[in-house]
Chain A
Amino acid sequence: MPYEDTHTSTAGSIPAAKLGGARKAAEPGQNAMKRLQTELMQLMTSPAPGVSAFPSADGNLLSWRATIEGPDDTPYAGLTFKLSFEFPSNYPYAPPTVLFSTPIYHPNVDFSGRICLDILKDKWTAAYNTQTVLLSLQSLLGEPNNASPLNGEAAELWDKNPALFKTKVMDRHKDLEDD
């Protein structure tokens, strides 16, 4: 019979107890944790050269620290950059928030360390992972997208005055202590 009517009569609200009791794996972030554990395993078993990532020391799997080594033949050669990854609880359906912790002079990074990279914004899909993000950022160091800079001066100097660009990179760079 019209068992749906019982739903209608509950006035549109789904009782929270029902939701919670529906199943065990339903807590927010459960799937994100599962996914991040898998990614951590992959990073440890098959690391990519020049990048690394690991959950931060406080044991929160949604918060990671990562490093990128500056690629050779770029102004960033020999430098190491630290980054922070904050994963949303609905990861991988939303991208992580990635910031440069190490000060960096780059056309697509602002002075707060925020990054302009399409796969971290509207091009994100669940097929990307921490490693692909790091590798994309590494290649961004050598091939900035000067068409949409966050740092306009850097975008200009990249083409016009590579020597000055390199100087600014070195001036800005400051190795962080390990946290």
Chain B
Amino acid sequence: MFQPPERPAFLQPGSGGYGIAHSLPEFTFEETPLGLSGGGGGGYGAGSGAAGAGDAGPGSLLYTSPIFSTTGSSVGPASGAFHLPFHHSTSPSANTNTPSPASSSLAHHHLHQRSSPLSSSSSADMESAHDVNAQEAAARDYQPNLQGPLVGNRIPSTVITEAYAKADPVYVAKTMVRYLAGAPRLLLLPLTQAQMLPQTYSHYRPIQGDGNCGWRAIAFGYFETLLSLGNKAELDAERQRIESLNAFIQTAGGHPDYVYQPMADETIELFDRLSAVFSSPEAAMTELLDSFNNAEIAGAIIYHFRLLAGAWLRGNADSFSAFITSDLGVSGYAEATIERPNVEIDNLGIILLVNVLLKPVGFVLEIAYLDRSAGSEVNHYRFPEEANRSHPSELGPTIHLLFRPDHYDILYLAGPPPPPPTTVPEVDLQVHRVAFSQGYEIASTPLHSYADELHANPLALIPGFDAGPPGLNTVMGLGTPSPISPFTASPASPWMSTPFAEPMPQHSQPPRAPITVPTPISAQPPQRHQLRFSEYCQLPEYRDTWREPAFQTSTFKNSHFNVAHYNNPNFQPEEYKPDADESELAPRVGSRKRGSV
């Protein structure tokens, strides 16, 4: 059942490139001006010549995306005529994290949309390349070419995957789609342990990369979360709190009121406008989006938050001075980084802003770092720092950001769509069943590839043990719906998302310790993130009426990917015994029957 993981072929030094299975040639890559088809193509090798490339074994990964025009019938590892224009690289360096011009440029394809000053002037200054004056003039006149709205609309996160599909293998791995429910296009790629961004996060919201994106993303997420809570009193309370911080900016930040007052006024006015239309979530969201796309308003709010962070830094200089490594000092750092317009937020800035803005209201910021760090999994980190030790269900409303080098966007967790309440469980499970049946059709040994994905942690195969990789949740269709999202937790069916939100005691921090006693979920008081399913589940009138949903295949019904048994209030996760063979892992069915009295 479980096999040791294979290292991804493309990460092995010396392996002959990074193969793309047969189906890929039918996918039409755009010819980019970056010369991807040239020598510096970033380590794409077309074909099964690469180690394990065309193999549908453990190292394989189903890649589906609407953009791929391959038909399902052609998906197969067996044969391969390779038409890819990509340079077949045999250089080990091309398979490692060595940046190549093409891949790194592609990586930023969807990011800032701006070219560097040098590149914008390079052609004009070709003959006077060393003319410092010309370069200085170009730099002086340089205007970044920023496109798109300041804060974009929510769009499916598969867009990110598509943008990265042509990029460096590290990025490909981290953004890989395994499957999308209902997506008919399948591809096989020799990737393992891929963090499937679109599975964890269904949507994202692009933020303009004008140097304020981190500030803008957090500020927008703050307001959006306030709206999603659906609590007008909380919104008004936050308005009071933010307004009361004006004095803090003056005393701790040392700014006279004419500096911060116009900016704080814009923030307060936004609170007021949101409060005025609060009864209509749609109108409030429109107001928020419009305000953040108004450069005048957004600029003021963002700078207001910069001033808040700067004041927090100066007001807590003792706590933070050790983190300022430059010789600027606390005040110099605040001026040079925090309060300097259009300068991107850094880690300390995030900590400061979280401390002054999010922590007092109980919000959590979680950032997924999609960068070129080693490994094939997106790293996550939460702010404030102590939130990293907490179970997701214990966290307050969480703002998710996606970090790509020098840029932040807002992410939204994949959650079940908000369909009619009475049909949701079956609909949702049906979706995943279909998705997995695709997997079974395509991959001959799907469990093996799953095991690889789950970081080869045997515990991860057991429902109830989240070994940490978000891939598990998503593979199992257990993506936690974003508590901040008003779209997954609509007032009409607030409990509907929860069967998949908090189905099991996930001990993700110490994942290796087997547990036998399920956490009594009902012990948790109703929280504002609306994870109320357990409460519903424990109601006596429902306890006896719980019925196992009908499934269409016994294979799936008995599979540990079936999450239906989490609906059973008497469900007990099985205990994992490392020495036991597979037959002893079976009593799941029995326990479920016991529970369904």
| CB under 8 Å from chain B, chain A span 20-55 | 22-23, 25-31, 34-35, 38-39, 42
Question: Are B149 and A14 in contact (CB-based, < 8 A)?
Answer: yes
Question: Are A30 and B296 in contact (CB-based, < 8 A)?
Answer: yes
Task: Tell me if A12 is interfacial: C-beta within 8 Å of chain B.
Answer: yes
Task: Tell me if B291 is interfacial: C-beta within 8 Å of chain A.
Answer: yes
| CB under 8 Å from chain A, chain B span 488-511 | 490, 492
Decide if the interface of chain A is mainly helix, strand, loop or mixed. loop
Q: What is the number of contacts between chain A and chain B, taking CB atoms within 8 Å? A: 109
Question: Are A23 and B297 in contact (CB-based, < 8 A)?
Answer: yes
Question: In the complex, what residue of chain B is closest to A90 when comparing beta carbons?
Answer: B299
In the bound complex, CA of A94 to CA of B263 (Å): 14
CB-CB contacts of A95-112 with B at 8 A, as 1s and 0s? 000000000000000000
Question: Are B149 and A12 in contact (CB-based, < 8 A)?
Answer: yes
Question: In which size bucket is the chain B interface?
Answer: 35 or more
| Known A23-B269, A35-B262, A93-B303; contact A4-B285, beta-carbon cutoff 8 A | yes
Question: In the complex, what residue of chain B is closest to A12 when comparing beta carbons?
Answer: B153
In the bound complex, CA of A39 to CA of B257 (Å): 12
Question: Are A8 and B299 in contact (CB-based, < 8 A)?
Answer: no
Question: Are A125 and B487 in contact (CB-based, < 8 A)?
Answer: no
Partner of A127, one of B259, B269, B287, B490: B259
Question: Are A2 and B417 in contact (CB-based, < 8 A)?
Answer: yes
Chain A residues lying within 8 Å of B487, measured Cβ to Cβ, are 1-5
Q: How many residues of A contact B (CB 8 A)?
A: 39
Chain B residues lying within 8 Å of A3, measured Cβ to Cβ, are 281-282, 285, 486-487
- Report the minimal beta-carbon distance from B310 to chain A, rounded to whole angstroms: 9
Chain A residues lying within 8 Å of B155, measured Cβ to Cβ, are 8, 12
Task: Tell me if B238 is interfacial: C-beta within 8 Å of chain A.
Answer: no
Partner of B336, one of A38, A92, A123: A123
In the bound complex, CA of A39 to CA of B262 (Å): 13
In the bound complex, CA of A126 to CA of B299 (Å): 11
| Known A10-B153, A28-B295, A93-B299; contact A23-B273, beta-carbon cutoff 8 A | yes
Task: Tell me if B445 is interfacial: C-beta within 8 Å of chain A.
Answer: no
Task: Tell me if B241 is interfacial: C-beta within 8 Å of chain A.
Answer: no
In the bound complex, CA of A25 to CA of B300 (Å): 12
Chain B residues lying within 8 Å of A8, measured Cβ to Cβ, are 153-155
CB-CB nearest 6 A-B residue pairs: A3-B282, A93-B341, A125-B339, A38-B258, A22-B290, A7-B153
- B-binding residues in A (CB < 8 A): 1-8, 10, 12-14, 18-19, 22-23, 25-31, 34-35, 38-39, 42, 90, 92-94, 122-127, 129
